[in-house]
Structure 1
Amino acid sequence: MAVSSFRRSVLAQMIICGFIALLGPGLWNANNSLGAGGALLPYLRTLIAGTLGWSVYSAALYQNNRFGTEWFVMLGAAVCGISAGLYWAAEGAIILSYPEHAKRGRYLALWLGFKNSGQLIGGAINLGLNATNAKTGKVSWVTLLVFVILQAFALPLAFLLSRPEKTERADGSKIVVEAKTTTKEQLRLLWKAATTRQIGLMLPIFFASWFYWGYASSFLTLYFSVRARALASFLSAISGTIACVFFGFFLDSKRFALKTRIRVGFLLSCGLFTLLWIWVLIIQHEYEATPPKGLDWASPGFGRGFGMFIMLQTIGNMVQNYLYFLIGTIGDGTSELSRGTGLLRGVESWGQCASFGISSSKFSPFYTTVINLVFWTVALIPAVFTIWEVQERKEFSSSSEDSDSLSAEQVGVPPRIAEKIREEA
């Protein structure tokens, strides 16, 4: 494959998005694993603007860590929040609408693997710079300075992305981009998507899927040494990546019907996550009775709480992989998927924000765990209705014979997009 051709391939777009995720949210996740602390169309290049906020936030953490500046943290968080909103809308459209249906699960795993690699690299940096710090407290300010420098490289990478109409799928099918519309029309379509039965029933689980992040970050800060927190950041990235890769291949497997993969995938990710919260509740109850301080890898009983955190992060990544895959089966078309993923990322970020708000107060970690378990369990009930209603459909094929014998509607394309495909043909 020629260099120019590869640059236009879906794989190349996923790798570029992966590197941006590694440098941006991946390193941001590494920060939070330490316990430290829009536009709807990809052709609007919102991903470029969306890369700007991560390094600003890390710079604010560095300033606070070294000089105690607090106002910059608030400003950095606001800038990062706005930037991340733009980033997620564009990123979601790319990672879901660019790949063929048959490869969507593994491409999602590739993207999550890159994002987790950011946490892996960040964890390695954290561990290398803080390996001698067996006490509690803050990490070395040099750690955050390295993050600022690395995150700044996300911006130039965004310019390498190919526009959707120029991207080449391996099976020859086109990426259909709907015509530009007014902001008012986009808001109407977004509201319409949010109030459909399929998406509306999923909103609670979107909220609950990242609600655990604030608790997980506080759990490390309260009970573990600096170098143990760095090790947790490093190992959870490895376990999360491996789990998502195998899970992604299962979600794409042609040995099972799509309906079967959706249902079994739900049990493997969301079911295990539910059971895990029972373990979290038991561990947190023990820590509430006798709070440990500065648990280190040489401390007695270190493995119980540490292992629980690793599993929480690992299965949490599987839940993310699953929800993205599920959204990809509900809608087609760049704009439609962008609205779906925008709702997923927006609502889950709202949950994450609420979680950090609770965890940053003096609220009991045990009751925070109870709230997480209740929120998550209640959110599963409406989600089951959408998941069990997913219908089987014929997936896109690279075979010309299949392409000739199947209409656009038969492969699951919405009518208005099918009409555009016929017009182009």
Structure 2
Amino acid sequence: MGFEGDEELGTQVPGKAKIFSSFRYNSPLVQIILIGLVCFCCPGMFNALSGMGGGGQVDHTASNNALTALYTTFAIFGILGGGIYNILGPHLTLVAGCSTYVLYAGSFLYYNHYHHQAFAIVAGAVLGVGAGLLWAAQGAIMTSYPPADRKGTYISLFWSIFNLGGVIGGLIPFILNYHRSEATSVNDATYIGFMCFMAAGTLLSLAILPPSRVIRDDGTKCTNITYSNVSTESLEIIKLFFNWKMLLIVPAAWSSNFFYTYQFNNVNGALFNLRTRGLNNVFYWGAQMLGSVGIGQIMDFSCKSRRKRGFIGIGVVAFLGTAIWGGGLANQLKYSPGEKPDLDFKKSGSEFAGPFVLYFSFGLLDAMFQSMVYWVIGALADDSEILSRYTGFYKGIQSAGAAVAWQVDERKTPIMSQLIVNWALTTLSYPLLIVLVKLAVKDDNKAEEETTKQVAPSSAEPASAK
């Protein structure tokens, strides 16, 4: 592993005007847009598929078991993914990860005809490996490429493009099943549509550049690390489990996908009919776009101090989260356990409005919560090698929580208990994130930037020694 010299880093000469356009192919902005489009096609469509409840099937068993297998392997490869990304680089990591999404959607196309869940479960386990690779790469790109004072803006840009995939993906089952108001499972064309988008995302991932080739507008590279190796990455990944910063993130990471099971299966899947679930997902993922833009503005522009912006952002999310989960409790009390009202957006009138607004609000909160956590992680360091490990750890713990959540639902845990646990987990994460921002986030990163710019070839040293 080595460092590159000052000339290759492209350090800007003092007093020299910026000469780099933000719309260059090798600019952070364009690369963030590209990784957003990759996630639009792959996890964005996966989210639309999962968001229908039961993977579009009336019986949630196959989907729950497939998702348990998925998030179990995701938990392992999410943590390992940062190290794998540092060794293989973006092309191999992303192509391997994206291709597994096509297999997963295809397994439900198979299930539509034969109702054998073994293929779906195996495909879910394979997707967990691929998702771990994809999200570790995505996390490194999204948190390390942007300039320090615009990380919230770039995160919200990515989140908006990514969740546009959920919007389009929600339209697919809504349009293709619009005249099937009494149908229980989506048709074959729905799954084929998802597979086409996922295949396109796999090809698009080849357009992502390695971090060493991405140049910020001030002429500096996003990272000065060119290579890593297995022994270094293995040691650094082990260290994450003893890193107090990562330990403070664990409750937020665990809860951030744990609530999907409740929202998808026990709100959207349980309360609405098939075509309405597709429509709801259009607005759920659309709400994510709004939420990410809103919290991005707060995290970057609410005040001058970066640390204070972190406090304000966490406070806003905590306030909205408390209100939205309180609304979820009020909604849940209206229905008896096991009741399935099959609400329809055209036929149910005012009875449809309350649960619809709740589901929309859950999407808003999800984007704000996760964008806020990513901002905090991005504020802990400025190098893609370090941040790939941090985000990989976050996704690994997140996926472990999701694996447990899908089995909690599969074992018919009372819905009210699921709601309370979700609310408690997210609430616990807020004070811990405040402590993390207080102790670990600096008001600026000038010292870090100066250190990066002053590294010379003769002073090269291994990353593990930093």
Q: One fold, TM greater than 0.5? A: yes
Match of residue 363, structure 1, among 408, 413, 419? 413
2:433 to 383, 388, 394: 383
2:121 to 50, 55, 74: 74
2:337–2:414 CA contact under 8 A, matched in 1 = no
State the Cα RMSD in Å: 2.5
Q: Which residue of 2 aligns with 1:12?
A: 30
Q: Any conservation in 2 of the 1:93–1:338 contact (CA below 8 Å)?
A: yes
Q: Distance in 2 between matches of 1:83 and 1:308?
A: 32
Residues 424 and 232 of structure 1: is their aligned pair in 2 closer, same or farther, counting only changes over 3 Å? farther
Tell me which residue corresponds to 1:231.
Answer: 279
Q: How big is the shift at 1:51?
A: 0.9
CA distance in 2, matches of 1:70, 1:254: 49
My pick for the range that moved more, 249-258 or 83-92, is 249-258
Query: Conserved in 2, the CA contact under 8 Å of 1:201 and 1:386?
Result: yes
1:140–1:3 Cα change, 3 Å:
farther
Task: Give the alignment partner of residue 31 of structure 1, picking from 49, 57, 61.
Answer: 49
CA distance in 2, matches of 1:188, 1:378: 30
Deviation at 1:172, TM superposition (A): 1.4
Note the C-alpha offset of 1:275: 2.9
Question: How many aligned residue pairs are there?
Answer: 410
Shift of 1:19: 0.8
2: CA distance, partners of 1:237 / 1:180: 37
Distance 1:4 1:347, change over 3 A: closer
Compute the displacement of 1:30 (Å): 0.5
AA aligned to 1:365 is I
Return the alpha-carbon distance in structure 1 between the equivalents of residues 118 and 149 of structure 2: 48
Q: Is the 8 A contact 2:257 2:398 kept in 1?
A: yes
* Distance (whole Å) between structure 1 residues aligned to residue 20 and residue 439 of structure 2: 43
CA gap 1:284/1:89 in 2 versus in 1, 3 angstroms: same
Task: Give yes or no for contact 1:177–1:334 (8 Å, CA) kept in 2.
Answer: no
Instruction: Please state whether the residue corresponding to 1:7 is helix, strand or coil.
Output: coil
Q: 1:383 to 1:394 in 2, by over 3 A?
A: closer
Once the two structures are TM-superposed, the CA of residue 315 in structure 1 deviates from its matched residue by: 0.8
> Which residue is 2:8 aligned to?
none
- 2:380 aligns with one of 320, 327, 330: 330
Number of the residue aligned with 1:280: 328
What is the Cα deviation at residue 422 of structure 1? 8.3
> Does 1:184 find its partner at 2:231?
yes
DSSP-derived class of the 2:207 partner: coil
| Pairing 1:77-156 to 2, within 5 Å after superposition | 77-135=124-182, 137-156=184-203
Look up the match of 2:67. Answer: none
2:401 and 2:456 mapped to 1: Cα distance? 38
Deviations 1:211-240, CA, capped at 9 Å, x for gaps: 100111112222210111011111112221
1:243 to 291, 314, 338: 291
Offset at residue 87 of structure 1 (A) = 0.9
Q: Name the SS of the counterpart of 1:116 in structure 2.
A: helix
Alignment correspondent of 2:455:
420
CA distance in 1 between counterparts of 2:238 and 2:310 reads 25
- Measured after TM superposition, the shift of residue 345 of structure 1 is 1.2
Letter of the 1:201 partner, please give it. Answer: L
Superposed displacement of residue 364, structure 1: 1.5
* Distance across 1 between alignment mates of 2:425 and 2:444: 35
Q: Determine whether 1:262 maps to 2:262.
A: no
Partner-residue secondary structure (3-state), 2:412: coil
Distance in 2 of aligned mates of 1:389 and 1:3: 35
Q: Which residue among 288, 291, 311 is the counterpart of 2:339?
A: 291
Q: Measured at CA, do residues 12 and 187 of structure 1 come closer, stay the same or move farther in structure 2, by a change above 3 Å? A: same
Aligned to 1:349: 399
Aligned CA distance change for structure 1 residues 279 and 43 (closer, same or farther; 3 Å):
same
Structure 1, unmatched stretches of 5+, are 396-409
* Conserved 8 A contact 1:225-1:296: yes
Matched residue SS, 2:46: helix
Aligned residues with identical type, % of pairs: 24
Amino acid at match of 2:52: L
Q: Which moved more, 1:372-381 or 1:59-68?
A: 372-381
Higher relative contact order (CA 8 A, sep 6+): 2
Cα shift at 1:187: 2.4
Distance change (3 Å), C-alpha of 1:5 and 1:260: closer
Q: Counterpart of 1:335 in structure 2: which amino acid?
A: E
CA contact (8 A) 2:379 2:441 kept: no
Residues 331 and 129 (structure 1 numbering): CA distance in 2 closer, same or farther, change over 3 Å? same
Q: 1:246 to 1:344 in 2, by over 3 A?
A: same
| TM-superposed deviation, 1:394 | 2.7
Scaled by the length of structure 2, what TM-score is found? 0.82
Aligned to 1:54: 101
Residues 84/419 of structure 1: CA separation in 2 closer, same or farther (3 Å cut): same
